[in-house]
Amino acid sequence: MVESALVDWSRLQFALTAGYHWLFVPLTLGLAVIMATMESLYVVTGDEFWKKTTKFWMKLFAINFAVGIATGIILEFEFGTNWSNYSWFVGDIFGAPLAIEGIFAFFMEATFFAVMFFGWEKVSKRFHLAATWLTGIGAAISAVWILVANSWMQHPVGMEFNPDTVRHEMVDFWALVLNPVAISKFFHSVFSGWMTGAIFVIGISCWYLMKKRETRFAMASIRVAAIVGIIGTFAVMLSGDSSGIQAAKYQPMKLAAAEGLEEGGPRAPFSIVPGVEIPGMLSILATHDLDGYVPGINNLLDGYTSPDGVQHPSAEEKIARGKRAIEAFGQYRTLQASDPAAAAEARRVLEENMAYFGYGYLTSREELVPPVGLIYWAFRVMVGVGGALLLLMFVVLWAERRGRLPQMKWLLWASLLAIPLVYLAGQAGWIVAEVGRQPWVIEGLLPVKAAVSSVSVGAVQTTFFLFVVIFTLFLLIELRILMKAIVTGPQIENE
């Protein structure tokens, strides 16, 4: 019997690792573009100021990069250590993007990071600039493949279940790569990294302005970062819109939970906060149609007929059909040698009910509902903070262009305080994506409780607390080193 505590601790450990990883990765993605832009300005203008500016941000980039790598390796191997059943059940599909990520992206990052950081005097200017861009491109390519893998879990495509090997097998590689969820998720995640990088640079630069230090450096950095950040935020909004449409299509329970929508229908309202709604807005966001039908949590559990006439079964029926599929699978395996005709019939039943296979592991309809309160508020934090940061970047850019920024103390403070907020928004986004798809590790096919490894709860608890201590220690040290480096500053004015 799989203990629920084992599932919970395994989930917590993965969430901890992924959460920490996502503290470091977005800054890598965003800062890479900002410093590569700065270095491009250096190569184009020949102004040493841009080289020194680039080098300062590169120093902070390197400190952050190392911790991102450290948390990343744990994530990759946790698929095996903590989710061993998952690793076999879908390893035929899921392993491929991870391997491709290593071959295509990680080697690129590793090679060009070394050239970028240590190669200032060893390679030509243009060569160095190429290395800086390629480090950032490597990070983005890495994001492509890990998000292809993640999106496949949200919307599994391009595979078939093989009862002989007892796993899902890839039948269409390009369906996996061009999964619409992957495309939206890539843009949404990578451009949210641009936002993080931008807010990080703006916030620190504003601190220099508050201290009346490094004014030219700070103003120039703000200019580049705000432009990158504004472009990034618009891209995040656009990809967020398509993510909403896809959630409505492929993960309606996630959408209903994120909206706290119990009873759905056409002209579904969008809840700004509890009690404050915009009529019809959710239908527009989810279907781009005011009359678009959006099912609520109860509709999804009770079953409903969508406007196109498609009947969506109730939770009970899905669970029953899932159990039928699992039972047929067992019969197929047992009868294969002794009674081929009965085995063929069992296989037919399995295929007929395969779409609900994962539901068979569930025992009640309640298991199908993710924690509504958490997702509801995480979504609002993500969108609210994102919107506020876009406004902030516009105001900061306007003030910088007008030369008024150094005098606007409140804006400098707001920019500094925006740094933790952008991280909060990023974490909230992943909570919506990952907690929102519970109980599924692979939507509809495999719930988390059928995916865990057979290790003791105590072992997972031990490693969980070990990782808490290690990651927190690393985070504290990184923050301390970053702060010392920031206080020391680029020292451009003193030269």
Q: Which of residues 46-105 bind another protein (CB under 8 A)?
A: 62-63, 65-67, 69-74, 76-77, 79-89, 91-96, 98-104
Q: Which element (helix H / strand E) includes 492? A: none
Residue pair 390/226 in contact (Cβ under 8 Å)? The answer is no
315 binds another protein (CB under 8 A): no
368 binds another protein (CB under 8 A): no
Residue pair 186/367 in contact (Cβ under 8 Å)? The answer is no
Nearer to another protein, 145 or 293 (CB): 145
d(CA 16, CA 420): 18
CB of 49 to another protein, least distance (A): 18
CB of 39 to another protein, least distance (A): 14
241, 317, 327, 351: which one contacts another protein (CB under 8 A)?
Answer: 327
CB of 455 to another protein, least distance (A): 5
CB of 345 to another protein, least distance (A): 16
455 binds another protein (CB under 8 A): yes
Residue type, 157: V
d(CA 108, CA 138): 5
CB of 189 to another protein, least distance (A): 19
126 binds another protein (CB under 8 A): no
Nearer to another protein, 169 or 302 (CB): 169
375 binds another protein (CB under 8 A): no
Q: What are the φ and ψ backbone dihedral angles of 311, each rounded to 5 degrees?
A: -90, 125
Question: Is the peptide bond prior to 439 cis by the omega test (within 30 degrees of 0)?
Answer: yes
1 binds another protein (CB under 8 A): yes
329, 356, 376, 440: which one contacts another protein (CB under 8 A)?
Answer: 329
Residue pair 378/428 in contact (Cβ under 8 Å)? The answer is yes
Task: Find the binding residues for another protein in span 155-194 (CB under 8 A).
Answer: 162, 165-167, 169-171, 173
CB of 262 to another protein, least distance (A): 29
DSSP state of 268: P
Site string for another protein, 434-453 (x = CB under 8 A): ----------------x-xx
Nearer to another protein, 42 or 361 (CB): 361
Tokens of 349: 């039943």
Pairing, β 440-442 against β 311-312:
unpaired
Nearer to another protein, 311 or 454 (CB): 454
Site string for another protein, 265-304 (x = CB under 8 A): ----------------------------------------
Burial environment of residue 366 by CB neighbours within 10 A (0 to 12, 13 to 18, 19 or more): exposed
CB of 329 to another protein, least distance (A): 5
CB of 347 to another protein, least distance (A): 13
How far from chain centre, in Å, is Cα 124? 36
Measured CA angle at 279 (ends 277, 282), to 5 deg? 85
4, 48, 107, 352: which one contacts another protein (CB under 8 A)?
Answer: 107
Residue pair 316/365 in contact (Cβ under 8 Å)? The answer is yes
CB of 241 to another protein, least distance (A): 32
Residue pair 385/273 in contact (Cβ under 8 Å)? The answer is no
The DSSP string of 306-335 is -TTS-EE--HHHHHHHHHHHHHHHHHHHHH
CB of 342 to another protein, least distance (A): 15
Provide CB contacts within 8 A for 268, sequence distance 6+: 259, 261, 280, 282, 283, 286, 292, 293, 294, 296
Nearer to another protein, 105 or 385 (CB): 105
CB of 423 to another protein, least distance (A): 19
Helices vs. strands in the chain: H and E counts, helices first: 17, 8
Nearer to another protein, 173 or 234 (CB): 173
Task: Find, among 82, 80, 253, 76, the residue nearest to 150 by Cα.
Answer: 76
Site string for another protein, 464-493 (x = CB under 8 A): --x---x--xx-xxx-xx-xxx--x-----
Nearer to another protein, 354 or 431 (CB): 354
d(CA 328, CA 315): 20
111 binds another protein (CB under 8 A): yes
Residue pair 116/135 in contact (Cβ under 8 Å)? The answer is yes
